[in-house]
Amino acid sequence: IGLPIQLIRFVFTVLTVLAVTVGIQSVGVVLMAALLITPAAAARSWTASLRLMLVLSAVFAATAAVVGTIISASLPKMPTGPWIVLALGGIAFISLLIAPENGWLPRRKRARGNQLKTQRENLLKLLYGAEEREGHTVAMTSETIVGIRRQHLEGLRKTLRSLKKEYLLVERADGFALTEKGRTEGRRVVRLHRLWELYLTERLGMAADHIHPQAETMEHIITPEIEALIVKELGNPEVDPHQSPIPYEED
């Protein structure tokens, strides 16, 4: 927001002390703690912007206060404070569960999507590598792939069906083989793997026999923009540290 961090810390500290001092005398420790912590925690699940976080915190606190007051007024012998705390807890729980960026469900969905993407790309890379070694189109059965990738057969079958649906693989009598589209995608994954291995050895000084695990991870997250920067940085390299050719896109 354009203010010195020390000033922000000082102002927040003063406001926190004042709020706690006045709040404990007015509403008690439990409600004060809930109002101090819960709205901010719920708002943080929705945004990283301080301005928006402050607005959301105020909205959540006001909503909980209104809900608690209505319930207390509607039902006999229902104290207002505990219902405000329960309403705040409900808002925080829902926020932590469904907030787009930091919610548990969206994060789990993204993690599952990344896992499926990794499985798909590993399979395409496996078939492309086999073609590269043999010099011709190679087909593999699901049982052969399971033996190589150590993957559950049912999960592999789902991946194969997905790749077939997108015309990345074709099923033949002797197994599954790459289509031209799948070959292009497999070539891309292999290229990123080898480029990253070369970058680790050339720029970070890592030993060639220690770089494979890192490349196995990075090949799935390198964007085209980062790839272009790596290629430029390395001067359009032709081979990786193991002297395997780096397969660029065919003209």
Q: Which pLDDT score, from 0 to 100, does residue 1 have? A: 57
Extract the tokens encoding 93.
Answer: 């729980």
Threshold 0.85, pTM exceeds: no
Chain Cα centroid distance, residue 107:
6
- Going by pLDDT thresholds of 50, 70 and 90, the confidence category of residue 251 is low
Closest CA to 222 of 179, 190, 247: 190
Domains defined along the chain, listed by start: 5-102 (no CATH), 111-251 (1.10.10.10)
**Residue 138: Cβ within 10 Å count:** 19
* 13-30 average pLDDT score: 79
